Structure 1
Amino acid sequence: MTALHSPHQVAIAVAPNGGRRTKADHPAIPLTPAELARAAAECLEAGAAMIHVHVRRPDSRHLLDADAYLETIEAIRAEVGERMVIQITTEALGIYTPAEQIAVLKAVRPEAASLALRELAPDEAAEPAFAEALDWMKRERVAPQIILYEPAEAVRLAAMIRRGVVPWPDIPVLYVLGRYTVSQTSAPADLLPFLAPEAPRFADWSVCAFGRNEAACVTAAALLGGHVRVGFENNLQTPDGALAPSNAALVASAATPLRQLGYQLCDAAALRTGYLGG
């Protein structure tokens, strides 16, 4: 997931559970460490190079907890070894404070982590703590990905890079096409505002989308130079509107057209060489 890759190498990440959906939404959604490990292996086989992990409480509610993350990371590594990059989320879901989010990040010291700009740096007053967390990630070689929900956030992030708040000249980002709302369905055109001529450019950008158009949205992103994230966190349907049997089926729905269009898929080794800095 980096400018160092060939334009014809696309990284597929899978977000298999998120922090909201439960077995009531889909019986195959993976929530336990063992279920996430099995899903990782299936998605690896289907073409994913990275797994974006949420952990849950016993009652399935969203959780940020270092021990739970470490147990899940261990389970996934036992199943797939080093063949997938494991990215944890710091998402608050309205439950955790920025300080709590950063504390869990530091306690886990994962290979990679996603951070929502609107949660960890909602205003200028929060920027020093955000900058310190990013400095720590750079020192500890924890790969960041900044979650951006609207183009205005991309503009703000670019300004923070210029002001030195972000300790890299560029940083990987994820453009979210839509919102976590009932019946949300994204469209490929939702990506265009993020790529408008006046919009900031990030060398390493990915896209996730909601609903049955997920595969179309991420294919469009790949054609325009981006990378992709799919999975039950954002979507439960195959492109024809049927309930997807598994996360691996959604990975395949993205991988198949990309391969047919002549794109190569990044494996974890390629991802680490660029996205994780070698």
Structure 2
Amino acid sequence: MTTPTLITVAPTGAESAKTEVPALPVTLDELLLTAKECEALGAAVIHVHIRDEGSRPTLDPGRLRATVAALRESTDLIVQLSTGGAVTDPEADRLAVLDAGPEMASCTMGTVNFGDGVFLNRWEFIVDLHTRMQERNILPEYEIFDLGQLTALQRLLGKYGLPAGGHVHVDLVMGVPGGMPGTAEALVACRQAIRDLPAGTTFSATGIGRSTIPVMLAALATDGHLRVGMEDTISYAKGRPVESNMQLVARAVGLAHVAQRPPASTGQARELLGLSSRSAA
């Protein structure tokens, strides 16, 4: 059978400023509209960062809970919260993200230079995040910025056990300055390493900036899934700013159809990831 393509939209992120990227969804109303539009096109997961009233990145617990509740009420998307936040966010605030009760949350598997900053992920913090998600029945998406982080994930799972539900899902974040390049060769190397993880492990791939299209094509050719959105790229093509997250999701959907791997519905996505149905959640 053809494996459907899980499409994740990451609409906002913590890096771009609203003043520089006017189309960036930063209010709750903008995020909800984006979520509905992208779900209608074929997205099944939404990777969420939130902003405060001044459009600055925030991990405010009340705003996070309200965002999760609103997305659940308005869509059937799998809500995945970022525990990365901005690179300056303290560990305690990042751990508290789980209190908002998402179905999924990110778990970055190591420290990486992130442009001019450092995205710090100590081993003790990774273990704490992983075990808290086990206790709360939240599915991690293990974020991989470099090949060695897949080895770190193998160590984590071997020592502390599988996620709740037993399914392992990773996201290859490719093309970040300081991380692995966004190339087909790098993706294939990661694909080989993923084979050493538990049977049934799935992966998505994210191409930052100009690596978006090469990474999408390589992922589709190797049974991978896709993450797109304005968190990862604000240019649709050279000299063409992204007008909305819908543009990026629509392109991913089109390529998935070309690859004869049409987008997974939200129900298929939950089955693929081993998540319980919405009615049982």
**1:115 aligned onto 2:113:** no
Shift of 1:160: 1.9
Shift in CA distance, 258/93, structure 1 to aligned 2, threshold 3 Å? same
Q: Is the 8 A contact 2:150 2:193 kept in 1?
A: no
Q: Name the CA distance, whole Å, in 1 between partners of 2:10 and 2:171.
A: 12
| Equivalent residue in structure 2 for 1:177, among 154, 168, 174 | 174
Match of 1:63 in 2: 58
Q: Which runs of 4+ in 1 moved over 3 A?
A: 119-124, 129-133, 165-170, 184-190, 196-202
Q: How many residues align?
A: 265
Residue of 179, 182, 186 corresponding to 1:186: 182
Q: Is 1:48 the equivalent of 2:43?
A: yes
Change (3 A) 1:254 1:160: same
- Alignment-mate amino acid for residue 21 of structure 2: H
In the superposition, the TM-score normalised over structure 2's length comes to 0.84
The residue aligned with 2:70 is 75
Instruction: After TM superposition, give the deviation of residue 24 of structure 1 in Å.
Output: 2.6
Any idea what SS the aligned residue of 2:209 has?
coil
**3-state SS of 1:13 partner:** strand
Paired residues of 1:185 and 1:212 also in contact (CA < 8 A): no
RMSD between aligned alpha carbons? 2.7
1:219 Cα deviation from its structure 2 partner: 2.5
Paired residue type of 1:249: Q
Residues 46 and 249, structure 1, Cα contact 8 Å, conserved in 2: no
Instruction: Give, in angstroms, the shift of residue 197 of structure 1.
Output: 6.2
Distance, in Å, in 2 between the alignment partners of 1:86 and 1:167 is 17
Matched with 2:261 is 263
Partner of 1:205: 203
Does the Cα contact within 8 Å between 1:7 and 1:225 map onto a contact in 2?
A: no
Q: Which runs of 5+ in 1 are unaligned?
A: 1-5
**For the Cα contact (< 8 Å) 1:151–1:194, is it kept in 2?**
yes
The answer to whether the Cα contact below 8 Å between 1:87 and 1:113 also exists between their aligned partners in 2 is yes
1:12 to 3, 7, 15: 7
TM-score for the superposition, normalised by structure 1: 0.85
- What do residues 223-258 of structure 1 show as CA deviations (whole Å, max 9, x unaligned)? 101111000001112246522211010011111021
Give 5+ residue unaligned stretches, structure 2: 112-118, 277-281
User: Paired residue for 1:221?
Assistant: 219
In structure 2, distance between residues paired with 1:95 and 1:69: 18
Deviation at 1:49, TM superposition (A): 0.7
